[in-house]
Chain A
Amino acid sequence: MEELDGEPAVTVIPGVNSKKNQMCFDWGPGEMLVCETSFSKKEKSEMVPSCPFIYIIRKDVDVYSQILRKLFNESHGIFLGLQRIDEELTGKSRKSQLVRVSKNYRSVIRACMEEMHQVAIAAKDPASGRQFSSQVSILSAMELIWNLCEILFIEVAPAGHLLLHLLDWVRLHVCEVDSLSADVLGSENPSNHDSFWNLVTILVLQGRLDEARQMLSKEADASPASAGICRIMGDLMRTMPILSPGNTQTLTELELKWQHWHEECERYLQDSTFATNPHLESLLKIMLGDEAALLEQKELLSNWYHFLVTRLLYSNPTVKPIDLHYYAQSSLDLFLGGESSPEPLDNILLAAFEFDIHQVIKECSIALSNWWFVAHLTDLLDHCKLLQSHNLYFGSNMREFLLLEYASGLFAHPSLWQLGVDYFDYCPKLGRVSLELHIERIPLNTEQKALKVLRICEQRQMTEQVRSICKILAMKAVRNNRLGSALSWSIRAKDAAFATLVSDRFLRDYCERGCFSDLDLIDNLGPAMMLSDRLTFLGKYREFHHMYGEKRFADAASLLLSLMTSRIAPRSFWMTLLTDALPLLEQKQVIFSAEQTYELMQCLEDLTSRRPVRGESDIQQLQVIFTSGLMVPHGGGKRLPLSQTSPSLQKHWLLWTHVPLFPLTCVIHTPPSFRRK
């Protein structure tokens, strides 16, 4: 991932010699192409062993991880829920909702972490095992940071309660104590276990004094000599005043009681009550908040923030949020003691203790390899109204900037892009235009996928994208000679020019083969028929076929005529239409009125006068037939047998009737539906 700040990430491309040559490249929607070249050398290169490889470069590694997929999928639902939290909600109910959302995000991280842990254990080769383990630690860091942000920025716990939350935080994240406890208690003689005192110490360091007391009672049982001092220590532990959630006492009362208890502990130290047992004496010093004694337990504390919380517990349990940063910084300094320098995680936590949200997000962006964490955390903090707006031309604020990055990353994945759509929806400034640019690049390899993409665009009134996608599919269908599909896509694209083109193809095929394909589609065009004149004609011409088939000859005749007189029919198709008129003229009853027959002749004349028509004899014969139809109004009289007409007319006739070389009189009742399929 590219950082918000910090040093650029270097990706090494094996096999490319950057010292000698350059690279040409191209951006794709989700990937990049890179290839070695030489820009300075033009024309034939002197047989350099030219770079034989093209490299596909991807952006976000994590998008392709199977396990993280769950993280992306499940957090998507939480994200959507958060966006719908009622803006009207204020005060406590809003806060409790936001805290619940935060906890949901964390539980998704934890679930993912546990799954990753299982995979790491099950990994067959050590290398991938290590890789999964390192991912476990990253996820664990995410949860650690998120949890602290939740306490400080979302819960906004006041003095007193703040420390209780921090204790929970430490207990959740430094959890070796549970396995150690099981180990010790499971042994035959717990108080003789090598780690017995370590366990007691850890329990005290974490403020788990009830459990520590139970441990001490085991020691008291085992060695009667120290039973007395163990009991005294147990009493000190029991009487330590703490704020309990349901307690109504004021902070001042608590502080007073705590001071009293502290002085009592102090007296036991002065009296050297525990001098005979160094373990107990060390515990007492810890409970007095003695920094040196605490720092002796570095190994057990394992990190500076544990040290910080323990130190606060036993020296300033009612610490105010505003004073945290002072304790945090000094705890970090004391703990590292100049032996090592702070690492990214330390800086992130320190920034949180300083209530510097921007710094937290910035450092996280640099340290973490994906945008998931910063995007979701920032969005949540923004819903807590904690981010001042940073005006920038591509993204109204940091929230939008990060969400856009995250969503763009999802679009690189063949299926996760669908989640990205919703994230873009909640980016008020550039979300829509980004979605437009991304969604039109989704490969439309199946009809199902195309319909999915179209639905998304249609729901958002992205008319240009809908048009373009339909046009692409129409073009693809035409190229593959799937005319029906091409026609329906061009109708959906509302592309009149293309609908005309496809209709022409249909008509051309009809002239060549005597039948239409995709009748279902053409017969059910409905209002879509109006998209282009040619399409209207195609639909109307099929209507003519239906009317003829249903023996509605008069309707069929006037429709046929109107197709020509209204000029909807393309001129190239008139010969076909005029020939179609023949069987109607041959009906026993009069179908074309004299006026209509004149119009037919007019059309024929029109056709011949404009341009030379192939088959001069066809025209003449049509003229003869029309004239005779006019002269014999009752349909009887002299007729020209088909066998005496020209071969090309006969061919059309055949297509029309499927009855070979029958005299016209026999053919006239054969409806168009008998046409060859």
Chain B
Amino acid sequence: MFVARSIAADHKDLIHDVSFDFHGRRMATCSSDQSVKVWDKSESGDWHCTASWKTHSGSVWRVTWAHPEFGQVLASCSFDRTAAVWEEIVGESNDKLRGQSHWVKRTTLVDSRTSVTDVKFAPKHMGLMLATCSADGIVRIYEAPDVMNLSQWSLQHEISCKLSCSCISWNPSSSRAHSPMIAVGSDDSSPNAMAKVQIFEYNENTRKYAKAETLMTVTDPVHDIAFAPNLGRSFHILAIATKDVRIFTLKPVRKELTSSGGPTKFEIHIVAQFDNHNSQVWRVSWNITGTVLASSGDDGCVRLWKANYMDNWKCTGILKGNGSPVNGSSQQGNSNPSLGSNIPSLQNSLNGSSAGRKHS
């Protein structure tokens, strides 16, 4: 891994989230300065801020892109108790000339009475849906029935989790064998320790979400949660950011005929647990193929976890700050990629083969 470029973000306060669009050619950032910025990658590979606007009246925690099948759509959530959906309007020539794009608010979701801590679009096969969760302990699922009219969102489900919610993750599996499923994490730090991860599954018959599982072993505050892309597996993989990084597998137990109406039950196994971040872990996220998990923690590092070909999970990479403030240009390209620049030892021994190893 190497730093290919750095871009001056120009937010006036802390950035809370960065988000790539589906193709990796756009990104969005959100900040305590209450704004969201959208950045576009030019053909030459440079990034330009093409929109920046005030989105909320409080810190913006999360920003996320809808699948491009639904157009250019963003959702944000904030301390101001709302979540909002934004759509890019295809610019008049004036805007295009200035390299700016125009985003309009399509809806404000005002159902929460407390800070909205996470917002996630559902997998695209479910249509244009999004889920929010909030400090009041409720997960809300909204749907835009007409994808050409994003001003109409209906609140489809309210799931009470009884604990202040910090994070949600949709199960991305589009297999018919798997019902829609959402995992919810709580960062409630009240002393009466309860399980902090709950999994809800949609029931076709009742048309409601019902609790399928609770991860009893996770009792410390949970800050982030992420289902892995499914890769056609029959089971699910769930990563959790708590006081350490944990990876669980959830194997659906075959339903008996008698209980076919109830939620799926799972065999839950922990397959990895890492405390390398020393203290709290704040974010977990899978790469697009679900083969690498990245986590960010109190040690200030992003760590990459990967299972090798014998299914052993281990840390394969660390992104670490050098501690010194940045100065200099805003766009730094790396024009000299090198083969094995970080492995002087091999070079040394090789130079030995051509130039003679030095011996005393």
Distance in angstroms from A170 CB to nearest chain B CB is: 10
A37-B319 in contact (CB<8A): no
A2-B292 in contact (CB<8A): yes
8 Å CB contact of A27 from B58, B286, B347: B286
8 Å CB contact of B71 from A15, A408, A475: A475
Residues 1-26 of B contacting A (Cβ, < 8 Å): 1-20, 22-25
Q: Is B348 interfacial (CB 8 A cutoff)?
A: yes
B6-A15 in contact (CB<8A): yes
B4-A24 in contact (CB<8A): no
- CB contacts (< 8 Å) of B8 on chain A: these are 52-53
A55-B6 in contact (CB<8A): yes
Residues 1-59 of A contacting B (Cβ, < 8 Å): 2-5, 8-45, 48-59
B289-A370 in contact (CB<8A): no
Most buried by A among B31, B323, B354: B354
Cβ-closest chain B residue relative to A337: B359
Q: Is A345 interfacial (CB 8 A cutoff)?
A: yes
Cβ-closest chain A residue relative to B88: A479
8 Å CB contact of A35 from B18, B24, B59, B298: B18
B341-A369 in contact (CB<8A): yes
Q: Kindly state the separation between the CA atoms of A33 and B17 in the bound complex, as whole angstroms.
A: 10
> How extensive is the interface on chain A, given as a class?
35 or more
Contact with A along B318-347 (1 / 0, CB 8 A): 111111111000000000111111110111
Q: Kindly state the separation between the CA atoms of A176 and B352 in the bound complex, as whole angstroms.
A: 12
Q: Is A144 interfacial (CB 8 A cutoff)?
A: yes
Contact with B along A352-394 (1 / 0, CB 8 A): 0000000000000001111000000000000000000010111
Residues 253-309 of A contacting B (Cβ, < 8 Å): 298-299, 302-303
- CB contacts (< 8 Å) of B229 on chain A: these are 437
Known contacts: A22-B282, A471-B69. The answer to whether A61 contacts B357 by CB under 8 A is: no
Q: Is B170 interfacial (CB 8 A cutoff)?
A: no
8 Å CB contact of A472 from B25, B68, B291, B307: B68
Q: Kindly state the separation between the CA atoms of A4 and B315 in the bound complex, as whole angstroms.
A: 10
B304-A8 in contact (CB<8A): yes
Q: Kindly state the separation between the CA atoms of A43 and B14 in the bound complex, as whole angstroms.
A: 9
Q: Kindly state the separation between the CA atoms of A366 and B173 in the bound complex, as whole angstroms.
A: 33
Cβ-closest chain A residue relative to B301: A18
B301-A50 in contact (CB<8A): no
Interface residues in B, total, Cβ within 8 A: 110
B300-A369 in contact (CB<8A): no
- CB contacts (< 8 Å) of A49 on chain B: these are 325
- CB contacts (< 8 Å) of A173 on chain B: these are 353
Distance in angstroms from B290 CB to nearest chain A CB is: 8
B309-A58 in contact (CB<8A): no
Q: Kindly state the separation between the CA atoms of A13 and B3 in the bound complex, as whole angstroms.
A: 7
Distance in angstroms from B136 CB to nearest chain A CB is: 16
Q: Kindly state the separation between the CA atoms of A3 and B308 in the bound complex, as whole angstroms.
A: 9
B339-A138 in contact (CB<8A): yes
Stretch at the interface among A395-403, A628-636, A655-663: A395-403
Q: Is B32 interfacial (CB 8 A cutoff)?
A: yes
B288-A438 in contact (CB<8A): yes
- CB contacts (< 8 Å) of B348 on chain A: these are 343
Cβ-closest chain A residue relative to B332: A14
Known contacts: A22-B296, A24-B18, A33-B18. The answer to whether A9 contacts B346 by CB under 8 A is: no
Distance in angstroms from B59 CB to nearest chain A CB is: 6
Known contacts: A9-B318, A50-B13. The answer to whether A367 contacts B346 by CB under 8 A is: yes
Q: Is A596 interfacial (CB 8 A cutoff)?
A: no
Q: Is A594 interfacial (CB 8 A cutoff)?
A: no
- CB contacts (< 8 Å) of A45 on chain B: these are 13-14, 32
Q: Is B191 interfacial (CB 8 A cutoff)?
A: no
B1-A11 in contact (CB<8A): yes
Q: Is B111 interfacial (CB 8 A cutoff)?
A: no
A52-B9 in contact (CB<8A): yes
Q: Kindly state the separation between the CA atoms of A346 and B18 in the bound complex, as whole angstroms.
A: 44
Q: Is A135 interfacial (CB 8 A cutoff)?
A: yes
- CB contacts (< 8 Å) of A134 on chain B: these are 338-341, 347
Distance in angstroms from B52 CB to nearest chain A CB is: 13
Distance in angstroms from A253 CB to nearest chain B CB is: 36
Q: Kindly state the separation between the CA atoms of A19 and B322 in the bound complex, as whole angstroms.
A: 9
Known contacts: A138-B339, A302-B353, A468-B124. The answer to whether A19 contacts B6 by CB under 8 A is: no
A5-B308 in contact (CB<8A): yes
Cβ-closest chain B residue relative to A66: B337
A344-B346 in contact (CB<8A): yes
Q: Is B231 interfacial (CB 8 A cutoff)?
A: yes
A475-B69 in contact (CB<8A): yes
Known contacts: A15-B6, A35-B15. The answer to whether A53 contacts B317 by CB under 8 A is: no
B18-A57 in contact (CB<8A): no
Known contacts: A30-B24, A468-B69. The answer to whether A24 contacts B296 by CB under 8 A is: yes
Distance in angstroms from A322 CB to nearest chain B CB is: 26
Q: Is B95 interfacial (CB 8 A cutoff)?
A: no
Q: Is A442 interfacial (CB 8 A cutoff)?
A: yes
Q: Is A62 interfacial (CB 8 A cutoff)?
A: yes
Known contacts: A16-B321, A299-B356. The answer to whether A3 contacts B347 by CB under 8 A is: no
Distance in angstroms from B22 CB to nearest chain A CB is: 6
Q: Is A441 interfacial (CB 8 A cutoff)?
A: yes
- CB contacts (< 8 Å) of A51 on chain B: these are 9, 14-15
A65-B341 in contact (CB<8A): no
Q: Kindly state the separation between the CA atoms of A234 and B199 in the bound complex, as whole angstroms.
A: 85
- CB contacts (< 8 Å) of B280 on chain A: these are 39-40
Most buried by B among A17, A26, A37, A131: A26
Q: Is A416 interfacial (CB 8 A cutoff)?
A: no
B346-A345 in contact (CB<8A): yes
Known contacts: A5-B308, A54-B29, A303-B357. The answer to whether A393 contacts B325 by CB under 8 A is: no
B294-A2 in contact (CB<8A): no
- CB contacts (< 8 Å) of B59 on chain A: these are 42-44
Q: Is A641 interfacial (CB 8 A cutoff)?
A: no
B6-A53 in contact (CB<8A): yes
B316-A8 in contact (CB<8A): yes
B343-A26 in contact (CB<8A): no
B320-A401 in contact (CB<8A): no
8 Å CB contact of A138 from B1, B287, B346: B346
8 Å CB contact of A303 from B27, B47, B300, B353: B353
- CB contacts (< 8 Å) of B318 on chain A: these are 8-11
Q: Kindly state the separation between the CA atoms of A17 and B8 in the bound complex, as whole angstroms.
A: 16
Q: Kindly state the separation between the CA atoms of A673 and B298 in the bound complex, as whole angstroms.
A: 72
- CB contacts (< 8 Å) of A128 on chain B: these are 336
Known contacts: A27-B287, A57-B2. The answer to whether A444 contacts B23 by CB under 8 A is: yes
Q: Is B246 interfacial (CB 8 A cutoff)?
A: no
Contact with B along A56-92 (1 / 0, CB 8 A): 1111011111001000000000000000000000000
B350-A345 in contact (CB<8A): yes
Q: Kindly state the separation between the CA atoms of A674 and B294 in the bound complex, as whole angstroms.
A: 64
Q: Is A496 interfacial (CB 8 A cutoff)?
A: no
Cβ-closest chain B residue relative to A141: B350
Residues 437-482 of A contacting B (Cβ, < 8 Å): 437-438, 440-445, 464, 468, 471-472, 475-476, 478-481
B58-A43 in contact (CB<8A): yes
Q: Is B223 interfacial (CB 8 A cutoff)?
A: yes
B3-A345 in contact (CB<8A): no
- CB contacts (< 8 Å) of A515 on chain B: these are none
With A22-B296, A27-B20, A368-B343 given, name 6 new contacts (CB 8 A).
Answer: A10-B318, A15-B324, A49-B325, A56-B5, A131-B341, A345-B350
What would be 7 A-B contacts, judged by CB atoms less than 8 Å apart?
A2-B317, A14-B3, A16-B321, A26-B17, A26-B27, A45-B32, A135-B339
Interface set of A (CB-CB < 8 Å, partner B):
2-5, 8-45, 48-59, 61-65, 68, 128, 131, 134-135, 137-141, 144, 173-174, 176, 298-299, 302-303, 339-340, 343-346, 367-370, 390, 392-395, 397-398, 401-402, 404, 408, 430, 433-434, 437-438, 440-445, 464, 468, 471-472, 475-476, 478-481, 501
Interface set of B (CB-CB < 8 Å, partner A):
1-20, 22-25, 27, 29, 31-32, 39, 43, 47, 58-59, 68-72, 79, 90, 124, 148, 174, 223, 229, 231-233, 280, 282-283, 285-289, 291-292, 294, 296-304, 306-311, 314-326, 336-343, 345-357, 359-360
